[in-house]
Chains A and B, each alone.
Chain A
Amino acid sequence: MSDAALAQRPGGPRLRGRALPWAPALTLAVMLGPVAAGLAGTVGPAFGWMPALGGHTLTFEVMRGLFDWPGLTRAALLSVGVGFAATALSLAAVALIVAGWRGTRAFGAMERALSPLLSVPHAAAAFGLAFLIAPSGWVARALSPWATGWERPPDLLTAQDPAGVALTLGLVAKEIPFLLLMTLAALAQARSAQGATTARALGYGRVTGWLKAVFPQVYRQIRLPVYAVLAYSMSVVDVAMILGPSTPPPLSVQVVRWMGDPDLALRFRAAAGALLQLALVLAALGVWRLGEIAVGRLGRRWAEGGGRGAPAVETALRLAGLAAGLLAALAVFAGLAGLAVWSVAGFWTFPDALPDALTLRTWERHGPRLGALLAETALIGAAATVLAMLLTVACLEAEHRHGLRPAQRALWLLYLPLIAPQVAFLTGFQTLALVVGLDGGRAAVIVAHLVFVLPYVFLSLADPWRAWDGRFDVAARALGAGPDRVLWAVRLPMLLRPLLTAGAVGFAVSVGQYLPTLLVGGGRVQTVTTEAVALASGGDRRLIGVHALAQAAAALVPFLAAVLLPRLIWRDRKALRHG
């Protein structure tokens, strides 16, 4: 029985109090099926088991075939290298931005510039970036031929470089806004202003003081989002296809290639590759954790050393943070602007900085369909996000009131959809949906999205929720409020910003889902993303521009709400805006 059903009966709150302990179990029950099925659908074929394709025996042959594939080592190294580099760089950039500029006017500007970037779909940002940096791209066009002397684009390798540098930088540009938003949501609970002020008063430089006094508290709260960035950067497919190398590609892309190969026997190898990818991600998370401990030790020694930060280093670090933030914002914005210009472009070739002619043809042709697609996208995204937030808050509140650590510990299972490669994971998931008859409609798609939205909502909200100062609870209870009243009147309002942020992130994740929508919806449910990805396969930048802008617009509203609403609602509560 659900919470809602109980609440309708007399004495609801009391009963709800009793139902709450079951929230983690309920969440697990809802999610475990899809996750287990997804995992089984990956593990089975990896060892030769897939009766639908004639695999009836368990064997190591599939794994052997995978390890015999000559590109495997390089593909795996690329995944790992890009993952670590993108995560470390974006985390460092965010730390420097917040450390060096928080409380300044430049920081406000950067925050406003970076937050909306989160709503830009990864693939759209990558397309935009690819157009910026290509030898025939916007930057080269703007400088040619007057500065470069190029009448023709030079044959230079920029995007798709074999080492994955372009891919890494593209990911960094997209992950900085995500981590920054997570950090800002976390700051409120870290009493950071106090720590920073004290450090300044003791003569520490702005950056050094913040890194020593505030960062350790903040990092504890954004650890899960950082893990998500690591897992995502290692297993990303769409961005890697656009900006990444292809000889060989990162393992995740190779898995998708095998999955899409007309030779159905390669689907077994795809599953084996997916399993290896999963193992790599888990191993990388372990290594990162060890790194945390090591950096923590070193950091403690550094903090205890009492160095106040040399002014020259301070300035350099602040400038580096500013440059990273500006570059990330500029790259994504200029890329998006490039796509916007393409969406109204007539013929446009090198070295013209702007198209020959502007035309609304593409918008006129595809605009009318966009309304219905956007409505469907919004409906599914809102439903999946609200469900995910209800489950998450119920779980966290149950943990808070009842100290349900054991059940809580099992909740790491929720993160599996996030670290398992989606394309292989979906095979088993889809089979389960078919077996229970939940497929081919909007409801099925909402459940499918929930599986991928919930982990993000959970990891966005969990740490700020847990970091909430329990003394508010004690104070409110002492004033006579019951646990429900504390939740509704004190905790949720105080956590408004993290809640809205989690909702915005969840909504954006839902908007971005392509394969779950297509496969679980059986083609019955069309969103702006299914349309965008299908059209993008034709490579026409005009169509890509139209749909990328539509996708970004769909995800933008919740992000604006997450940034603006707390300011509006708490305009007279400075400490609640973001601590």
Chain B
Amino acid sequence: MIRMISAGLALLASAAAAQSPDPADWDAVLAEARGQTVYWHAWGGSAAVNDYIAWAGAQVAERHGVTVEHVKLADTAEAVSRVIAEKAAGRDEGGAVDLIWINGENFAAMKQQGLLFGPWVEQAPNWAFVDVEGKPAVTADFTVPTDGLEAPWGMAQLIFYHDAARAPAPPRSMPALLDWAAANPGRFAFPQPPDFLGSTFLKQALHELTPEPDVLLAPPEQTDYAAATAPLWDFLDALTPDLWRSGRAWPPNGARLIQLMADGEIDLALSFNPNEPSNAIARFELPETVRAYVLDGGTIGNASFVAIPYNASARAGAMALADFLMSPEAQARKQNPEIWGNGTVLAMDRLPPADRAAFEALPLGVAALTPEELGESLPEPHPGWMVRLEEDWTARYGLAP
């Protein structure tokens, strides 16, 4: 009986998917989207982010008749697992995941395995406002071309934050960080690679310390990897004994850094969301004396995206939602530090004056940085560097007795 029902459902699903939406005809996409339910698999670890996603869902329901269900994940890999299992079971239509919040290595892996639907992004109406020239990261995700398979919906940049009451003069370069840590042993920590924030710290340090940063944009095989990374290992050899717990235990992720800062265990930490310290202060998670800053030479930045799996059930609805997420209204709300405070992917000079005014009117969080203070972000190295750095770091420091 169950088998019969499921066979029937599978037939229905494949019939619906046969008229897969044509992104060039956006009105048809919206017409098909009406009445669909989009299961959006997205990290659910932040109440602020969850609230924003709920708001976006309500907006899309009102405008396009699309129902959005936020499937809260602890890790994006769980959604990737689901799509892989569906592919293994031959379920090439009617998949459970309609939209994934994704970037970097997860995107590269899904793209390489052909697990994504598209291209569709550059036909979305709001793509016209996206800052393709000023923010190269929106079309090159960790240098991997997005090829219209994922829609950018936020900018992230590495920042450092410190408790000004306990550490009034934080270091603004990697050599300065080394001196600071020696003078304040145990008061700085970064998450254990391959956590992405920990890996980003490695890439940031490498960018600053390596003799020729330009080689990082090409795969590491195309250069003298050992020579390029030697200064990084020297730096880490000197730094690690002065880290929190002398490098014998590691915070698992960025969230733990906030906790350690609030507990008074560390005075200096890092984040990939420039507004995170302000948000955390508002939630009583950090003392009001915490301030954010970037290093003198600039810091690594990237974009985060949403993508549709190849076998998604509600592709049209997912496209309508993704387009809304790129709209000036949704982007301005997202950048509002009282809501979330995640940087926009849009180009101000492409926006109508009213929308631009909305961005200019946004408040700035107590510990937030202006776009001028953030400066130009440095590009992500080729993903191959991250893989090698994570392996080598683990061999050197991640298995310490």
Contact = CB atoms under 8 A, between A and B. Distances in A.
A136 B72 contact: no
Instruction: Point out which of B3, B88, B185, B265 has the most chain A C-beta atoms below 10 A from its C-beta.
Output: B88
A435 interface: yes
B350 interface: no
Contacts of A161: 249
A246 B250 contact: yes
Interface size range on B against A: 35 or more
Interface string A230-260: 0000000000010001111000000001011
B399 A70 contact: yes
B63 interface: no
Nearest to B401: A162
B87 interface: yes
A538 B245 CA distance: 22
A536 B264 CA distance: 21
B283 A540 contact: yes
Instruction: Point out which of A136, A157, A264, A514 has the most chain B C-beta atoms below 10 A from its C-beta.
Output: A264
Nearest to A134: B263
B44 A153 contact: no
Interface residues of A, number: 74
B39 A524 contact: yes
A534 B73 contact: yes
B74 A533 contact: yes
A522 B39 contact: yes
B19 interface: no
A434 B84 contact: no
B237 interface: no
A71 B7 contact: no
A523 B71 contact: yes
A579 interface: no
A496 to B, nearest CB: 35
Nearest to A156: B245
B96 A524 contact: yes
Interface in B1-28: 2-3, 5-7, 9-10
A345 B71 CA distance: 28
B245 A349 contact: no
Interface in B22-55: 39, 41, 43-47
Interface in A40-62: 50-54
A168 interface: no
A153 B261 CA distance: 11
B9 A535 contact: no
B399 to A, nearest CB: 4
A439 B47 CA distance: 29
B222 interface: no
Given A262-B108, A523-B41, A71 B87 contact: no
A522 to B, nearest CB: 3
Contacts of B338: none
A477 interface: no
A436 interface: yes
A431 B88 CA distance: 6
Contacts of B370: none
Contacts of A159: 249
Given A523-B97, A524-B96, A539 B258 contact: yes
A511 B211 CA distance: 54
Contacts of B10: 437
A530 interface: yes
Contacts of A541: 259
A535 B262 contact: no
Given A162-B248, A537-B43, A519 B85 contact: yes
Contacts of B244: 155
Contacts of A74: 399, 401
B71 A53 contact: no
Contacts of A439: 96
Contact of B45 (A267, A351, A539): A539
B287 A535 contact: no
A267 B88 CA distance: 14
Interface string A414-437: 000000000000010011101111
B84 A53 contact: yes
Contacts of A84: none
Interface stretch (B75-83, B122-130, B148-156, B173-181): B75-83
Contacts of A350: 263-265
B6 A437 contact: yes
Interface string A507-538: 00000001100110011101000110111111
Contacts of A79: none
Given A71-B399, A345-B284, A349-B264, A246 B192 contact: yes
B249 to A, nearest CB: 4
Interface in B353-401: 387, 394-395, 397-401
A259 B69 CA distance: 25
A406 B263 CA distance: 59
A543 B84 contact: no
B105 A263 contact: yes
Nearest to B196: A262
A519 B78 contact: yes
Interface in B239-261: 244-246, 248-250, 252-253, 255-256, 258-260
Given A155-B244, A246-B249, A437-B10, A259 B45 contact: no
B341 interface: no
B2 A436 contact: yes
A346 B284 contact: yes
B285 interface: yes
Contact of B47 (A134, A259, A365): A365
A47 B245 CA distance: 39
A434 B108 contact: no
Interface string A479-495: 00000000000000000
Contact of A349 (B77, B97, B249, B262): B262
A440 interface: yes
Nearest to B281: A347
A261 interface: yes
B74 A534 contact: yes
B113 A136 contact: no
A435 B89 contact: yes
Contacts of B263: 134, 136, 153, 349-350
B187 to A, nearest CB: 8
B39 A431 contact: no
A523 B39 contact: yes
Instruction: Point out which of B7, B77, B97, B395 has the most chain A C-beta atoms below 10 A from its C-beta.
Output: B77
B86 interface: yes
A241 B109 CA distance: 25
Interface string A460-473: 00000000000000
A128 B96 CA distance: 35
Nearest to B254: A539
A128 B100 CA distance: 32
Given A153-B263, A241-B252, 15 more contacts: A70-B395, A71-B398, A157-B249, A162-B248, A247-B249, A247-B250, A247-B397, A257-B194, A262-B77, A346-B284, A435-B90, A523-B41, A534-B43, A536-B74, A539-B256
30 contacts: A71-B394, A74-B399, A134-B265, A136-B265, A155-B244, A155-B245, A157-B245, A245-B249, A246-B249, A246-B250, A260-B78, A262-B108, A264-B84, A264-B113, A348-B262, A349-B287, A359-B284, A427-B81, A438-B2, A438-B6, A439-B96, A514-B74, A518-B78, A523-B41, A524-B39, A534-B73, A535-B47, A539-B256, A540-B47, A540-B283
Interface of B: 2-3, 5-7, 9-10, 39, 41, 43-47, 69, 71-75, 77-78, 80-82, 84-91, 96-97, 104-106, 108-109, 113, 185-186, 192, 194, 244-246, 248-250, 252-253, 255-256, 258-260, 262-265, 283-285, 287, 387, 394-395, 397-401
Interface of A: 50-54, 70-71, 74, 134-136, 152-153, 155, 157, 159-162, 241, 245-248, 257, 259-264, 267, 345-351, 359, 365-366, 427, 430-432, 434-440, 514-515, 518-519, 522-524, 526, 530-531, 533-543
8 tightest A-B contacts by CB? Answer: A437-B6, A539-B255, A538-B45, A522-B96, A523-B71, A262-B105, A155-B186, A434-B89
